[in-house]
Structure 1
């Protein structure tokens, strides 16, 4: 886990479910990590607007499950919609026909809601992620494409604590409304289902099982467990949690084909795309296999202890501390990302301003004469994006974020949704589109001559 101040989502609900015995460390279901935030939001993590959300068992359960369906405008249906204590989903078929599905309290589950809205029902407030944003102003989008009530995650309070995702979230009146233009239909069982305007997409990674050492307890080996292997296929999740192939375009009214063989259960490494921001789901078990901030900092100090030198200026290079991850330092390592040779900042080629240099991003390497992007190197600080705990030896192209080889190789194969129907690989630390031959490059450090 990342050792920054994290807000555990455990707000109380109006349910009368008895509280479990209080524990010093509440049961954690997992964490949601926003891609493009290298450890924190540009404006800082505050309240429900964060780069990382811990989902833990609530003091009182607030989960809901479907109950009664009303196919006509009956008094009971009208009461379900108007009653703010009653959860319901309304499917508008025509101006004169609306199907209302009542939901009832579920003592066995906890519900967490995600969206752009700052209203109380939303536990995780997510805004559009802008590549390269360094300030709150940079991260502001002209018009957000993230739904105000985008999705909800239902977690079982008892082991093994399954987490399942559903499109759309309940508003302040505990209602979900699917208007006439929303994609909706009756299932083969006669139940209603539908999709949100821009959809909720989920990608489950392929996994394999192996015995791995517990990173947070050095020397201790755990039982065989699933490990992230390679990216899977993107699917769309419906309001009722069914799985479908992608629509032709993001907001098409024609749904994809139902995938009966797959479920809406989240596994370690799942990606959730909300059309404007992408979240990574890490289970509590999966987090025990990821490096901590302390471990990442130890790797940084180990790199610096090797005293890498600039082969031009012969100055000693140092990666800045993790809390200065966006501030250029005089000893900052720079690299030619076409060949991977690491230098300090120098004026080879005539430019004298590192801020201007970072914008130009094209230089000839004095070591091998290869021309390519020339950028400062930044250590990837968000531990949840790492697939192992090895030494940072590779950098993403063209942003220059540094991580382990396996981490770089994995994310270079992950194609994230972009626009209405395209996909491209991005750096998880800043969501910059990847370029070059592989999307990343092995760094070549110059050892000290003495």
Structure 2
């Protein structure tokens, strides 16, 4: 028996040094920051080397600890996640009372942290996919909240809510998000004027003007009564223009990712690229690739589920609060979808990385105008819904003037707190305008025609 115990104990005594030596050799050979991000995975692979049943149990424990670590990082590392319980609260209120005002309010609060975490999971996944695929992921999931809400609204036939919420997202990014970024960055760096890449701003302004053109022509065609086939030419023009805008946005992605790979390099005060090394600004992923994919799927599914309650309660909330649906769609809904952009733009501006802030705010507006709106028109076409690019005269005029104001403020390639304050106050004027704006009824439209 003693001999058997010695034979059985011998491999276990030698396993410790072997594991330690293999782990130390692995750590010495790995010079990347990945070993800092995945220490649990390294121990998991080391445990798999043993021939006894023990390592599988250790591997299970490590996988459980990895899951706990991932939940801790994604769910408990952000103070905004304190709003997550309001999602289930909205469902309970809907089932117990049916009060649309409170259901809408709690759904709005519950979706806000989910939108921010969706952006976080996309950024984490972009670490592993590279610049090209990462850019496509940001284009797809950067405004996923607005698109999910829009698809639910399209399914319910609420075309005006879709149009106004997408328009509100553009206005919110261009005026509120960019204004807060300029203001916060200007207050931190009051003794100098922040600079950004002027050529990138010009390209984005051009795309926004192209989007305005796509929205303006169907509205002008409608209000001048110059359609070849009344009611049909406007819809056909909108669908054709949407396809052209999607092609233009795909070309823009190719241009941005292949030809302008250094557009987010920080600039110095003279407007030329600074000599700061990229290694100083590199960040390491906090969660693994598969964890990012799983969290992306979970957040998207949960946002889609809550959006159903949110959209169903819009009209009831408008009646209960005595607030126009236009104000809810243009002002309140985009604040939820732009939570991630708002926080990111301010954070980068306070670090004097204004080019990234500009890419977040103006880039998101470009995504919605050149991808989100045409995409919804095509989806509505597939669903058999007559959604067009005629956003009515009031909304189109607001968008056109907003693009002109932002384009003039960006043409110098500099930013300060006063420009930020101007943009924020402009957004206050827009919000007040939609608070007193009501969509014309069918009888009013018949009188116009």
Please give the TM-score of this superposition, normalised by the length of structure 1: 0.21
When normalised by structure 2's length, the TM-score is 0.21
Query: Is the strand fraction higher in 1 or 2?
Result: 1
* Structure ID, larger Rg: 2
Where is the helix percentage greater, Structure 1 or Structure 2? 2
